[in-house]
Structure 1
Amino acid sequence: MVPRFISAHMVADRAGVSRSAVSRAFTPGASIAPETREKVMQAAAELGYQVNDLARGLLANRSRLVGLVASDPASPFRTQQIAALSRRLVERGSVPVLIPTGTGEEQVSAAHSTLLRYRAEATIVLSGMPSTSLVELAQRNGQPLIVVGRTEHGPDHIRVDNVRAAQVAVEVFVARGMRKLGFVTSSVRSPNLIEREEAFVSAAASHGLNVRIQRAGYTDYDGGQVAASLLLGTGDAVEAVFCVNDLMAFGLMDYARDVLNLSIPRDLSVIGFDGVPASRWGAYRLTTFHQDEEVLAHEIIRVLDQRQADPKARPIVSVLDVPLIYRGSVRPLRGEA
């Protein structure tokens, strides 16, 4: 016997009512006699019937699907972000759908086109490079498009205050007498990374300091190791390094200690970005800017609800603070323990 879903027609036959009565029974606010609704609900319970929300959404030209587009879903911070946002969406009554992509505009655009075909109620781009055509396509179809972690003209966007974070990192290093600064990033020129780099260099320049910038292939642990070998293994000592994320900071710290026999923070101070769980581990105790995934998820839902309430409003721009969490990877101020 081929398995099949229980249909509304089967419920109608069991209850002895019309197919439309079944539909009204499961539609909040619809007109239906109490005794008829009771018959339908009893029949549905006996059969194990569940409403087909996807079909309903397609009939209404809008489903409850919300697409999450990410080029790096396996990275620690993105995993936390997706989990927190998915929980919030489910609580909202939406159905989160993750579409992993590459970093290119074509792959992100293809993912968005797929979501449009399924009449998703919104697309949330967590990482990757959305193209201008993608933005225009969303607007023509009336689908909310929320871009996270980058500034885009047209769609609603939510980002963290990279400029202030970079300024704080410089202030922390300068207050501790460090003047030889390094910055570790990747060759993947995403807007977030560019913003952090430019702001860090500018803040350092305001103190009369230059910054040695070291790029690696990717923003991962191996990238941090490669960057450390190039930045720290030259004999031109660097006293403090700001890494664009925690993974690169972990790789850099391990290389500095295990290969170069440097002591952290006595010989080298390190600041990361993201606040992933491993940053608290005893092996790292990394001072880092904390992106709170729950705060971010709450803000994404707020922007989505605001957009749906007023589809023609001007683009919503939300900038979130990222507090610096002090741990053991930065040399204490004079007089501190």
Structure 2
Amino acid sequence: MRSSDNPSRKATSFDVARQAGVSRATVSRTFTPNASVSPETREKVHKAAKELGYRVNYLARSLINRRSDLVGIVVAGMDNPFRAQQVHEIAKALVSRNFRPILLPADQGESADHVMDQLLHYNVSGVLVTSDAPPTELCREFAVHGIPIVLINKGDPIPLVDRVISDNATAGRVAAETLVECGAKQLAVLSASHVSYAARHREAAFVARGMDLGCAPRVVPVLINDYQNGLAAGRDLDGIDGLFCINDYMACGVIDALRTKPQDPKNRIRLIGHDDIGQAAWQAYGLTTFRQPCDIQASQAIDLLISRMADPELEERTVLTPVTLVRRVTA
């Protein structure tokens, strides 16, 4: 009796092999990425699997292979549209390369160690970290266990841990130059640098270039780089006519705050953000910003992950993701 005649029993690879008229090893190869199987045989196996309702048990396979197809994504700040866009591109890129993403959220501005510790129990093939506080000791522990880990826009160098970093120095430098070219003389940067690696480096580059241009930029600190902190800071920007927000999410808050108070057209605030989230192009914002290409960054991170799977002893590497200034109405 076929398994399809008995709904209470799940179809197995033996059932599929029998129905397709092939060996069980052929069925296994058919469902193994990049394995050598003829198109005719692959079609025959997939047809039998569909008829029987067969699904590969990847978790069971991972117990046999001692490595799953799961890749952990540790992420914080999912309320930020850029983070959602970033995770979408990472997950899409992983699936296209026959990995299965597992998402673990961490709290914004807090250590992600409790989240990453959970991943050690999932037999993951690798980990991508986008949270603001990657735990150095756990990163080292992953490396010791031979589990590749890639930090995206995070942290200082850690042995055997690779990083993908946006070109924060260029963003900060060009932001200062662009604001000055627009006529701004009193520059400032809005940044929660204490919780974000990217914020620290964008802020530092902006201040350094502003000093070179004779503007002595102010640093306006906030608790978190989010919309609400941008909204609050935007209500008190007296004496500033050129502002760099280290992300668009916060810049949108600033723009909404500025709408609530009258501005002298001759002394309007020129504003630049970073990330080029979808909202930046909305008519309500028209935000000049730096595009950080999430698709390129995702591909870079997965390339590093795969190469380290092949050779865990590689020296740690850092790959730079380019940024592009997108001019709109705010600067």
> Within 5 A, what are the aligned runs for 1:249-288?
249-258=251-260, 260-262=261-263, 267-288=268-289
Specify every segment of 5 or more residues in structure 1 that has no aligned partner in the other structure, as ranges. 331-337
Cα drift, residue 93 of structure 1: 0.5
Cα drift, residue 95 of structure 1: 0.3
What do residues 41-77 of structure 1 show as CA deviations (whole Å, max 9, x unaligned)? 7754432112212211221110000111001123200
Alignment partner, residue 122 of structure 2: 118
Contact persistence 1:242–1:271 (CA under 8 A): yes
Identity %: 34
Contact persistence 1:24–1:31 (CA under 8 A): no
> Within 5 A, what are the aligned runs for 1:297-308?
297-308=298-309
1:52 to 57, 63, 87: 57
Between the aligned partners of 1:229 and 1:59, the Cα distance in structure 2 is: 59
2:77 to 67, 72, 79: 72
What do residues 243-283 of structure 1 show as CA deviations (whole Å, max 9, x unaligned)? 0111111111121222x212679611000011001100111
Alignment partner, residue 329 of structure 1: 330
Q: Match for 2:120: what amino acid? A: L
- Taking a change above 3 Å as real, the CA distance of residues 16 and 289 of structure 1, as seen in their structure-2 partners, is closer
What do residues 81-102 of structure 1 show as CA deviations (whole Å, max 9, x unaligned)? 1111111111111101110011
Alignment partner, residue 321 of structure 2: 320
Between the aligned partners of 2:220 and 2:136, the Cα distance in structure 1 is: 31
Q: Match for 2:88: what amino acid? A: A
> Within 5 A, what are the aligned runs for 1:50-199?
50-103=55-108, 106=111, 108-150=112-154, 151-154=156-159, 155-186=161-192, 188-199=194-205
Between the aligned partners of 1:264 and 1:303, the Cα distance in structure 2 is: 49
Q: Match for 1:261: what amino acid? A: P
SS where residue 243 of structure 2 aligns? strand
Between the aligned partners of 2:108 and 2:285, the Cα distance in structure 1 is: 29
What do residues 155-180 of structure 1 show as CA deviations (whole Å, max 9, x unaligned)? 10001111111111111122233221
Q: How many correspondences in the alignment?
A: 319
Contact persistence 2:71–2:101 (CA under 8 A): yes
Alignment partner, residue 3 of structure 2: none
State the TM-score, normalized to the length of structure 1: 0.85
Contact persistence 1:186–1:223 (CA under 8 A): no
Between the aligned partners of 2:210 and 2:298, the Cα distance in structure 1 is: 32
Q: Match for 1:139: what amino acid? A: A
Q: Is structure 2 residue 225 aligned with structure 1 residue 223? A: no
Between the aligned partners of 1:117 and 1:313, the Cα distance in structure 2 is: 25
Contact persistence 1:80–1:293 (CA under 8 A): yes
- Taking a change above 3 Å as real, the CA distance of residues 50 and 199 of structure 1, as seen in their structure-2 partners, is same
Q: Match for 2:142: what amino acid? A: A
Contact persistence 1:68–1:98 (CA under 8 A): yes
1:242 to 236, 241, 244: 244
Contact persistence 2:148–2:308 (CA under 8 A): yes
2:27 to 11, 25, 28: 25
SS where residue 230 of structure 1 aligns? coil
Contact persistence 2:90–2:295 (CA under 8 A): yes
- Taking a change above 3 Å as real, the CA distance of residues 87 and 204 of structure 1, as seen in their structure-2 partners, is same
Specify every segment of 5 or more residues in structure 2 that has no aligned partner in the other structure, as ranges. 1-5
> Within 5 A, what are the aligned runs for 1:209-220?
209-220=215-226
Between the aligned partners of 2:84 and 2:271, the Cα distance in structure 1 is: 24
Cα drift, residue 5 of structure 1: 4.0
- Taking a change above 3 Å as real, the CA distance of residues 172 and 37 of structure 1, as seen in their structure-2 partners, is closer
Between 191-200 and 180-189, the greater mean CA deviation after superposition: 180-189
Cα drift, residue 222 of structure 1: 1.4
State the TM-score, normalized to the length of structure 2: 0.86
Between the aligned partners of 2:174 and 2:105, the Cα distance in structure 1 is: 33
Query: RMSD of the TM alignment (CA)?
Result: 2.9
SS where residue 117 of structure 1 aligns? coil
SS where residue 273 of structure 1 aligns? coil
- Taking a change above 3 Å as real, the CA distance of residues 261 and 31 of structure 1, as seen in their structure-2 partners, is closer
Alignment partner, residue 334 of structure 1: none
Between the aligned partners of 1:250 and 1:230, the Cα distance in structure 2 is: 15
